[in-house]
Amino acid sequence: MKYMLMMNAPGGGPYQIGGWPKQDIQAHIGHMIALNKKLRAAGELVAAEGLTGPDQAKLVRAGKDGAPVTDGVFPESKEFLAGYWIVDVDSPARAYQIAAEASTAPGPGGAPLNMAIEVREVMSGIPPDML
């Protein structure tokens, strides 16, 4: 079963990581790289992407003629999606375990951030016997 693990970052401007000391930035990045490597080696990683900063985000709706109408960023938003993983695992418990490991990524001073990672099961296609 596949799960999407979504990592949210505080909104209201660029990513906060920009203000951290060098060694904390490196520890944080190292944690994520090691996690991805482990998931890939275990054959559990389907996809992992980081997204550009929230102040680059646009909200798009179709206008009257169907043409895109874009809105700028929303400073009042509390959280933004910073990146996500899609993992293919045997149980929901395993997905939660991976999310917890992502959550412990170190922050300023090397202390775990314990970020909230949203875990959602990815819907699958029509099962074979229904075709």
Partner 1 sequence: MSQPALTPGAEHLLRDLAPQVLGAVVRRYRDFAACEDAVQEALIAAAQQWPRDGLPDNPRGWLIQVASRRMVDQVRSDSARRQREHAAALDLGQVVAAASVESQADEDETLTLLFMCCHPSLTSASAVALTLRAVGGLTTAQIANAFLVPEATMAQRISRAKQTIRSSGVGFERPAARARAERLETVLRVLYLIFNEGYTASVGPSLQRVDLSSEAIRLARGVQRLSSDDTEVAGLLALMILTDARRDARSGPAGELIPLQHQDRSRWNRAAIDEGVALLSATLGRGRVGPYQLQAAVAAVHDEAARYVDTDWPQILALYTLLERMQDNPMVTLNRAIAVAMVQGPAAGVDILDALAADGRLVGSHRLDAVRGHLLEMAGDRDGAVRHYLAAANRTANTAERNYLLTQAATVREGM
Distance in angstroms (rounded) separating the CA atoms of residues 88 and 3: 7
User: In this chain, which of 10, 11, 12, 53 binds partner 1, going by CB under 8 A?
Assistant: 53
Residue count of the chain, please give it.
131
N- to C-terminal Cα separation, the chain = 20
* Segment near partner 1 (CB under 8 A); pick from 21-29, 61-69, 103-111, 114-122: 21-29
With CB under 8 A as the rule, give the number of residues binding partner 1.
20
Q: How far is the CB of 96 from partner 1 (least distance, A)?
A: 25
Q: How far is the CB of 93 from partner 1 (least distance, A)?
A: 27
**Position 22 contacts partner 1 (CB under 8 A):** yes
Give 3-state DSSP helix, strand, coil % of the chain, rounded to 5.
35, 30, 35
- β-partners of residue 49 are 84
112: Cβ–Cβ under 8 A, 6 or more apart, which residues? 103, 104, 105, 106
Site for partner 1 in 27-46 (CB under 8 A): 29-30, 33, 36-37, 40
Which residues bind to partner 1, rule: CB under 8 A? Answer: 14-15, 17-18, 20-22, 25-26, 29-30, 33, 36-37, 40, 50, 52-53, 55-56
